[in-house]
Structure 1
Amino acid sequence: MGERAFALLFANVHLILSRNFPLALLSFFFLPFGMGNLFALPPLKFLHLTLYINTPYSSTINYTAQSIWLDIEMACLWRQLPEDCVSRILSGTSPADVCRILTVSKEFRHPAESNLVWNQFLPSDIHTILPSPINFSSTKNLFFLLSQSILVDDGKKAFALEISTGRKSYILSAADLSIFHSNNNNWTWKSIPESRFDKVGEVKEAERLEIEGKIRSEALSPETNYGAYLLFKISEDAYGLNSIPCETFIASGDRLLATNTATLDDTINRPLHALFYGNRLHKMKERVGLNTAPAAPSKRQDGWLEIHIGDFFIGAADTGNITMAVTEIKGHQLKGGLIVEGIHVRPNT
């Protein structure tokens, strides 16, 4: 079998076997052998596999008997491989792939749970991120602990790994943000049971909102699209928050990456308010030159509300600060009752 034939075989294995998850792993078994060792495998296996792959793609829906035969062949190949070799193969996949493998095959449990695999899914700078000490029984255990988020940077940030990919996300607490007039009587700082942080910030009475967060590009996962979201709640006695939409932006240095507008209080869910104050709200929105409806807040599974600040991309060589801001400085109306937990920076799905 020549190099070109092998390449075609490998490509077709990926294409066809991807329709059946357990079989898709077959393609990984060819990688660690090298061409010489590959051809040392019994020729009959390749004869059957080639016949299977040359079957027209449209007929692969009805391949039950062949797929059973290939499952058996995969098991035979699996038993010929050293455990650390299988671990190296699995470390080139993703956490989601390995978790699926663990659910469908007991044969893979030991190599799939090895530290060699899960070390590859942890960020290279993980030991500079983690608080010390932190207890974990295995690297896999540490990964799943981090997927639930932990507090870092003296409790000013929450750090988590996306469970399907291992990419990093952060929540910058309100205490870690730059908030205009947050140190005077306009804002109050308090602890509430719903927050993951020690304190949240609440607007008592302010004419303007200026909330800004910064995070280093190097702290995030490279080659990843991120979204930034303001996390907040509205107190029962809130006022003035829906007078005019907030303006949001994301910047890297002097370069503007995204702009948006969003409302902190959704008047769609309060029809009487919209009826009595709709005309005034329309006039106020004209101040920000709003031609489209601003984004409304959405409710998260943890009970907090969020508005989308914007999206940005982290390249492999990016450095410097990413700035994320939410402002409302054109309404000139007193407002209060906004409870800010922080800004969530997470990979886009």
Structure 2
Amino acid sequence: MVADSLSRCCVGVTKRRIGIQGIGVSISDEDVDWEKNVPSDYQGIINRSSMTLKQTTKKELYFLLCIGILIDDGRKWFSLCKSTGGKCHMLPATEILCSNERAHRFSFSGSRFKEVIQLQQGTYAFKCKLESDMFSPRNLYACYLVFKFLDSRKSLDDRLFFRVSYNLDIEPVGYKIAHLSLPEPINIPLIKPKNYNISDESSNIPKTKFPRMPKTCTDDSMHSWMQQRDDGWMEVILCKPLHKLEDHKLLDVFLRSAGSTLDGLIVQGIEFRPMQRDV
């Protein structure tokens, strides 16, 4: 699974390839500051993986971590964010979902973990234990739901959203409206010269504004829209930027569906990724 994931991530990026026990790891000449971004405890993180790495340089290990590895017996996916240099990690949905008989567990091709869960209509609670060594200090972190649709056409046919509330160390922090749809194109009229062909009256330009707001909330900052990931999955932000997660122990996330919003949603996990330095 790790080798397959590495191969997919390396496509179109490689300037030079290094071998780690038969695994091709991409190194770009643009990564000139890689030494500044190597976490001081990288060796401890490597030791938490089941991979056997021999005769591997520190630079090779860094680029391997940028792609990501499974640690803790497959219960976490750890990686480094090349844009911020911060630590990232994903927790599998099967490990953090509170007991719920409506969620179906099964193996799914392309997942980093052995199993994923399929949601149905209802409310779901995820309990994310926070480890200080999984976060980079002085970074703002975003929390993402990583998912796919059981029926890929569903995201194109429906305007779906759900309400997210979350607690940090038991204390309520806030809520967000997460939309399971992409921004729509909007037809903007063109300024037509005299000899303009009438068949070209408009052009499709992506919206910069959000498509439709639920009546329950009009504040744009309380909304997030799903985005396509490079690994083929979708993601949507579940909460506002979080400060100093390395000082906290627990994040509880509650998803409340609107109608049949969550029906058929395949969830791989929840990922924590740095957005920017908290300076």
1:23-42 matches, within 5 Å, as none
How far apart are 1:243 and its partner, in Å? 7.9
Distance in 2 (alpha carbons) for counterparts of 1:171 and 1:179: 17
1:173 to 88, 92, 97: 92
CA separation of 1:348 and 1:211: change in aligned 2, threshold 3 A: same
- The question of 1:291 aligning with 2:223 is answered no
* CA offset digits 1:31-70 (Å, max 9, x no partner): xxxxxxxxxxxxxxxxxxxxxxxxxxxxxxxxxxxxxxxx
**Percentage of matched positions with identical amino acids:** 25
Q: Which residue of 2 aligns with 1:139?
A: 58
Distance in 1 (alpha carbons) for counterparts of 2:262 and 2:81: 36
Taking only aligned residues, the RMSD between alpha carbons, in angstroms, comes to 3.6
Q: Which residue of 2 aligns with 1:344?
A: 271
Distance in 1 (alpha carbons) for counterparts of 2:96 and 2:159: 24
Q: What letter is aligned with 1:321? A: K
1:312 to 226, 239, 242: 242
2:45 to 121, 129, 134: 129
How far apart are 1:303 and its partner, in Å? 1.4
CA separation of 1:164 and 1:134: change in aligned 2, threshold 3 A: farther
- The question of 1:160 aligning with 2:79 is answered yes
Distance in 2 (alpha carbons) for counterparts of 1:242 and 1:153: 38
* CA offset digits 1:163-218 (Å, max 9, x no partner): 3553211011112222451xx3x222222222122111112x44333344332244
1:27-176 matches, within 5 Å, as 99-100=31-32, 118=35, 121-130=37-46, 131-132=49-50, 134-136=52-54, 137-176=56-95
1:198 to 114, 134, 139: 114
CA separation of 1:256 and 1:207: change in aligned 2, threshold 3 A: closer
How far apart are 1:328 and its partner, in Å? 0.7
Distance in 1 (alpha carbons) for counterparts of 2:95 and 2:106: 15
CA separation of 1:160 and 1:97: change in aligned 2, threshold 3 A: same
Aligned length, in residue pairs: 216
Distance in 2 (alpha carbons) for counterparts of 1:132 and 1:237: 34
Distance in 2 (alpha carbons) for counterparts of 1:135 and 1:170: 20
Contact 2:77 2:89 in 1 (8 A): yes
Q: Structure 1 or 2: larger strand share?
A: 2
Contact 2:121 2:259 in 1 (8 A): no
TM-score (norm 2): 0.64
- The gaps in structure 1 that reach 5 residues or longer are 1-95, 102-116, 270-281
Larger radius of gyration between Structure 1 and Structure 2: 1
Distance in 1 (alpha carbons) for counterparts of 2:147 and 2:123: 17
How far apart are 1:141 and its partner, in Å? 1.0
Q: Which residue of 1 aligns with 2:150?
A: 235
Q: What letter is aligned with 2:42? A: I
The SS at the match of 2:218 is coil
- The gaps in structure 2 that reach 5 residues or longer are 1-27, 186-211
Contact 1:218 1:319 in 2 (8 A): no
How far apart are 1:258 and its partner, in Å? 4.7
Question: Which has the higher relative contact order, 1 or 2, with Cα contacts under 8 A spaced 6 or more apart?
Answer: 2
Q: For structure 1, which segment, 253-262 or 296-305, has the greater mean C-alpha deviation from structure 2 after superposition? A: 253-262
Distance in 1 (alpha carbons) for counterparts of 2:128 and 2:62: 27
Contact 1:174 1:342 in 2 (8 A): yes
Contact 1:151 1:158 in 2 (8 A): yes
- The question of 1:323 aligning with 2:255 is answered no
How far apart are 1:335 and its partner, in Å? 5.1
How far apart are 1:292 and its partner, in Å? 4.2
Q: Structure 1 or 2: larger helix share?
A: 1
- The question of 1:221 aligning with 2:136 is answered yes
Distance in 2 (alpha carbons) for counterparts of 1:199 and 1:228: 20
Q: What letter is aligned with 1:191? A: S
Q: What letter is aligned with 1:187? A: A
